[in-house]
Amino acid sequence: MNLILIGYRGTGKSTVARLLAERLGWSWVDSDAEIERETRLTIAEIFAQHGEAGFREGEASMVAWLLEDDNRVVALGGGAVLREKTRQIMAAAGKVVWLRATAETIHQRLSADPGTVTGRPNLTASGGMPEIRDLLQRRQAIYQQCADLEVDTDNKDPAAVAAEILSWMEPQKLRDSEQKQ
């Protein structure tokens, strides 16, 4: 079983993934960071060279590869859930946790992160707060459909978010082990 973190960028997926992996004794990986490592390009550069469709194709392959192993916490890019095939792979590979935050919180977090400004492309012509609101609204149903658990990250530090997920996981792991017997 894996633990897969989904949600819009800036919701804390990478930080929480690292904390969860430390506490579980599992490995962890950020799919966007892995894509950048493999391609030696930023996500923005991949979008510029191959467009969103080209990026999503490579992203789907990367996610499938990352979820082949067990006992891994995987932080997915915000749009990874857009492909049906990826959603099917996620559902078969483990438990999916949707990290949520308000558009205002996300905007504040992204504005404070220089790496986001230079390494991540705008996904709509408007960018900024209008883009965040638009994409959150468009993706909400997909995130909900995928999620085994939803965790609000507004006004919570990453350790509190990780603790909430871990407390939910204990009964999940027990049920899973009982079903295998």
Q: Which domains can be identified in the chain, with CATH numbers?
A: 2-180 (3.40.50.300)
- Give the model confidence (pLDDT) of 170-180 as tens digits: 866 545 545 55
Q: What is the pLDDT of residue 174?
A: 46
Q: What is the pLDDT of residue 136?
A: 93
Q: What is the pLDDT of residue 170?
A: 80
Query: pLDDT at residue 41 above 90?
Result: yes
- Specify the pTM: 0.88
- Give the model confidence (pLDDT) of 139-156 as tens digits: 999 999 999 999 999 999
User: Which of 104-112's residues contact partners 24+ apart within 8 Å by CB, and which partners?
Assistant: 104/129, 105/10, 105/153, 105/154, 105/155, 106/8, 106/9, 106/10, 106/11, 106/132, 106/136, 107/10, 107/132, 109/10, 110/9, 110/10
Give the contacts of 70 (CB within 8 A, at least 6 positions apart).
1, 2, 94
